[in-house]
């Protein structure tokens, strides 16, 4: 009879060891999809002549517990962090830039904000996961 408690604990630990990787993989999938959806919504949409940068975001499973959200468009770091613009082409010797013309496009921080939001949600998901295991 003294071993009954140890057998129950042993069964509980076996269950935890078996189910934990699957649950963490589900959390990784959910967080990756959540980040993908949020960053697509945060990505600014061009008023005209859109090149599909919003639709180009993808999620890739790089490891069992790792998800990579990426976009192949090369100029998106400029959108994320801001960038300078040219005032004009100014080929003639009398060329003067427009006064008050745009010289810097402010940053959007679409990926940074999305990651911060998903990190908050991830903390909550892990809290629920831990409570379900040890609860």
Instruction: Provide the residue-wise pLDDT of the chain in tens; the chain has 135 residues.
Output: 456 677 878 888 888 888 889 999 999 999 999 999 999 999 998 777 788 899 999 999 999 999 999 999 998 999 999 988 776 666 777 777 777 666 788 999 999 999 999 999 999 999 998 888 876
Q: Contact, 118 vs 35, CB < 8 A?
A: yes
CA dist 82 and 57 (Å) reads 19
Specify the pTM: 0.78
Tokens of 108: 């959007």
Residues sharing a CB contact under 8 Å with residue 96, sequence separation 6 or more, in sequence order: 90
- pLDDT for the residue 52: 87
Strands 104-105 and 66-70: unpaired
Cα distances (angstroms) measured from residue 111 to each of 32, 74, 115: 13, 15, 6
Residues sharing a CB contact under 8 Å with residue 80, sequence separation 6 or more, in sequence order: 107, 108, 109, 110, 111, 112
CA dist 30 and 129 (Å) reads 13
């Amino acid at each position: 009879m003294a071993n009954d408690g140890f057998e129950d604990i042993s069964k509980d630990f076996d269950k935890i060891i078996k189910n934990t990787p699957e649950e963490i993989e589900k959390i990784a999938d959910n967080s990756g999809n959540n980040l993908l959806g949020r960053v697509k919504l945060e990505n600014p949409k061009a008023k005209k002549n859109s090149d599909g940068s919003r639709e180009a975001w993808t999620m890739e499973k790089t490891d069992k517990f790792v998800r990579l959200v990426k976009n192949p468009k090369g100029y998106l770091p400029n959108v994320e962090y801001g960038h300078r613009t040219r005032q004009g082409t100014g080929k003639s010797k009398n060329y003067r830039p427009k006064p008050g013309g745009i010289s810097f496009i402010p940053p959007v921080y679409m990926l940074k904000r999305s990651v911060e939001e998903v990190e908050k949600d991830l903390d909550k998901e892990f809290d629920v996961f831990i409570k379900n295991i040890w609860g």
